[in-house]
Structure 1
């Protein structure tokens, strides 16, 4: 690629002079792209301070972990994802830990490594915990010695926590964050006082409020649902090259997460709903608009609406409702195959339903919430 510097020329270069400028803490470190509700990628500008702060916050949350080679971090998550970037790479480096890199999540490969050196710290998503536990049980491999597993990106079922902790003898706790926040904002305590069904408490140095989504500077009554707004050293300063989008997600210096939550008297946060219409499947974000655009490219599809429906295995599954040309005898599996030729595999709808029409607003916008309600009713008996 033009402009690329060969690695060999870098390692063969003379050492940098002491006077050579070094990055400052508030310099841009990475641009972490995240899909918005429109499906248009936005680059979250994260500084060295943001990333270092989040690693330090994670360290403070797990004080029982020993620094150095005795700390073993398993990297089973992709590092292009903010979750894997911080909790696998940056956290491990800040701890001086032994980082075990996996090319992808392969339960058999993870079990082979576990036999030799169990994980001290294992960031994962619920489907990974489920598959790892099932494989260990089937092969008779012990998971004992896995000290702390932290789950993020999607809701953690309590019925998975109990057998996983019994098998490992350690903890499996849920956390919460966003790419714009480097990404971790809160987590359940790694202790007996964690609260299942919640995403825990704010990390050190993190402030949060619950506000009226229509008046984001006004707090709601204690215990009532509202939009979560946050600020802290891990929160980004804005989207790269998008000042208007940046302004829209801040209110008086507080970052608007777009998530509706409640906070109990002890400070534990529970996610109630999402303002944003992103679908989270297997820990990855799927923008409905992108999938709808792919489906509409099919010559027999007149219109499409894509929503996320609850799944026992992946948090949510991508489901589509489509309107087709009148009189057409449509094969939905053929349409799925068509979409597979355009989309990344995890974005392809698991199920497609043919409907007569889609609910729309007065200005013609598809009402995805109503589509979701209808599909839930349609599938409740299946």
Structure 2
């Protein structure tokens, strides 16, 4: 195996340790500690409705008592199919308190996807948003599971609930976005939690090595699977983040919880890290620029985790409206590359710092980050977190290091690296090498200790025997006049292997053809990396976090190609019939 690269200590901000200690308890203790220290502090602000840490702790105790009374035991999976809301926080900590494993699900995912996930991890208990019940219990069929329905309006301020009952079209439309029909046999989470007896304080607690959470991801191979994270994994990432951001004040910060809790980034930064700090969280059920700015006016945000499109839209709207974002001292961007222009615009409107972090669900999720200070280097992934080691290896032989300065696959080892894919030992063996090294599937290089991303290994295009990195082609095409957005994928191309295809979203009124793209890129790319085809799309498919999904782009381009071939075949057949004197 190659030489281990220890954390780049010289680049650390003053005060950041090279190593961290992981607490020897479960994640559930984070909330109890916060309630003891900051009981009167507002923990959650949901569209204006406030919940203190003491109230939140009481609700969790009752919800844990409800789950235990329903037969949930240590190790059982409790599925959460919820948007961001107070009930999500309560159900998350309640399930962990009884020793169960929280299985997070996207409430907007299609029924087939959610059903397959439920079958795979075998949860017999589900806490579900009313609007997602069709995906969990299609046609009212609960599949033998205990299902609790969550009424999103139950967490609203009293005045808002009364307004939603008004017999006017606007109120009815708004209500329809928040509530849905509840089939017979589905229980009311909100009503039963209010009436439940608190869990006995002597109830056994989970151990730090126990499984805590299942998060669904494509992983390093692209095949959907459940990432299994232990209490230790999550607590390690909390401790690493706490050490990384010097200057945070316990019991005095305010987070904007705009990342989905069912995603690793939102789960760690909001459900665990913010609670560890005793921070107030302004919780939103979805990302909406005006709702975020309204929340900031109500409770000025000091710490904002997000993704580049969120920062871009917020900065632009603030500039348009004069909204004051100067309270935001720290911002962490993840999930995709942070455009330096977006970073500069954000820091101009806030006066605070924004850094780029790197990770994946399998690393809980953060593994690398830029220093919070003048030593940060925009455009890089940063340096390894405390207690995190990296290696850069030959992707064909991960036991062999690449020469210094050359590109290779990034391997990560640290206390935040996951326990494996739930029920998938073969896939786990492919991702986790001997010694606990996680294969990221990302091609990177080192630049003076900072890790620079080249591309995703699984999205590598092999054309004529040459490796083509989609992001490099995208960078070359994106600067072309008339091009608004671009995603590059590979399509099968016979003996060549794959053909480089650029999917374009054009600016209004622009016309761009393949010849123009090739002329534009001929001095920017090697000949083998230049696009051989283009496809013009109305928009690029994105994930819940706004990240372009190349797999979906590839599917769309393939569909367009099939349609074009079908039309061409019809035209050819019509022409042949006309030549034979047969009318079409």
TMscore range, shorter length: 0.7 to 0.9
Find the counterpart in structure 1 of residue 344 from structure 2: 162
The match for 2:459 among 277, 286, 290 is: 277
Q: Would the aligned equivalents of 1:217 and 1:251 in 2 still touch at CA under 8 Å?
A: no
Q: Name 2:147's counterpart in structure 1.
A: 4
Q: Deviations for 1:218-264, whole angstroms, at most 9, x for unmatched residues?
A: 22222221110011111001100000000011222211001011122
8 Å Cα contact 1:73/1:122 also seen in 2: yes
Per-residue CA shift, 1:301-359, capped at 9, x if unaligned? xxx9997858899xxxxxxxxxxxxxxxxxx99x999x9xxxxx98665974855899x
Q: Distance in 2 between matches of 1:76 and 1:90?
A: 14
Counterparts of 1:75-224 in structure 2 under 5 Å? 75-224=257-406
Distance (whole Å) between structure 1 residues aligned to residue 548 and residue 359 of structure 2: 21
Given the alignment, which residue of 234, 241, 244 partners 1:61?
244
Change (3 A) 1:143 1:196: same
1:255 aligned residue (428, 434, 438): 438
- Matches of 1:22 and 1:60 in 2, distance apart? 26
Q: Secondary structure at the match of 1:31?
A: strand
Would you say the 8 A contact 2:220–2:440 is kept in 1? no
Structure index of larger Rg: 2
TM-score (norm 2): 0.49
1:113-162 residue CA offsets vs partner (Å, 9 max, x unmatched): 22333221101111111111111111121211211111100000111111
Could you tell me whether the CA contact under 8 Å between 2:328 and 2:350 is conserved in 1?
yes
Unaligned 5+ runs, structure 1: 281-285, 293-303, 314-331, 340-344, 359-382
What displacement does 1:14 show?
A: 3.9
> For the residues of structure 1 that align with 2:312 and 2:443, how far apart are their CA atoms?
27
Secondary structure of 1:66 counterpart:
coil
Match of residue 72, structure 1, among 254, 258, 270: 254
Cα distance in 1 for residues equivalent to 2:506 and 2:389:
32
Distance 1:346 1:196, change over 3 A: closer
Residues 80 and 244 (structure 1), Cα distance of their counterparts in 2 relative to 1, 3 Å cut:
same
Residue 35 of structure 1 pairs with residue 212 of structure 2: no
Structure 1 residue ranges (4+ consecutive) displaced by more than 3 angstroms after TM superposition? 4-19, 36-40, 304-313, 345-358
In the alignment, structure 1 residue 50 sits paired with structure 2 residue 241: no
1:296 counterpart residue number: none
* CA spacing shift, 1:149–1:311, aligned 2, 3 Å: farther
Task: Report the counterpart of residue 297 of structure 1 in structure 2.
Answer: none
How big is the shift at 1:4? 3.4
Do the aligned residues in 2 keep the contact of 1:37 with 1:277 (CA within 8 Å)? Answer: no
Contact 2:219 2:362 in 1 (8 A): no
Moved more, 59-68 or 219-228: 219-228
Q: Distance in 1 between matches of 2:226 and 2:394?
A: 27
CA distance in structure 2 between the aligned counterparts of 1:19 and 1:117, rounded to whole angstroms: 37
Q: Distance in 1 between matches of 2:506 and 2:414?
A: 33
Q: Is the 8 A contact 2:220 2:441 kept in 1?
A: no
Aligned pair partner of 2:420 in 234, 238, 244: 238
CA distance in 1: counterparts of 2:384 and 2:266, whole angstroms: 20
Contact 2:282 2:299 in 1 (8 A): no
SS, match of residue 276 in structure 1? helix
Question: Alpha carbons of 1:159 and 1:111: their partners in 2 closer, same or farther (altered >3 Å)?
Answer: same
The answer (yes or no) to whether the contact 1:65–1:120 under 8 Å persists in 2 is: no
> Is the alpha carbon distance of 1:86 and 1:222 closer, same or farther for their aligned partners in structure 2, counting shifts above 3 Å?
same
| Separation in structure 2 between the aligned mates of residue 98 and residue 142 of structure 1, nearest angstrom | 19
Moved more, 150-159 or 32-41: 32-41
> Matched residues in 1 for 2:423 and 2:439: separation?
19
Q: Which moved more, 1:5-14 or 1:55-64?
A: 5-14
Q: Aligned partners of 2:443 and 2:212: how far apart in 1?
A: 30
Greater fraction helix = 2
- Unpaired stretches in structure 2, ≥5 consecutive residues: 1-141, 149-186, 461-469, 472-486, 492-497, 508-534, 542-546, 565-584
- For residues 38 and 177 of structure 1, do their structure 2 counterparts lie closer, same or farther at Cα, with a shift above 3 Å needed? closer
- In structure 2, the CA distance between the partners of 1:37 and 1:55, relative to structure 1 (3 Å rule), is closer
* 8 Å Cα contact 2:220/2:431 also seen in 1: no
Correspondences of 1:312-351 after superposition (within 5 Å)? 349=553
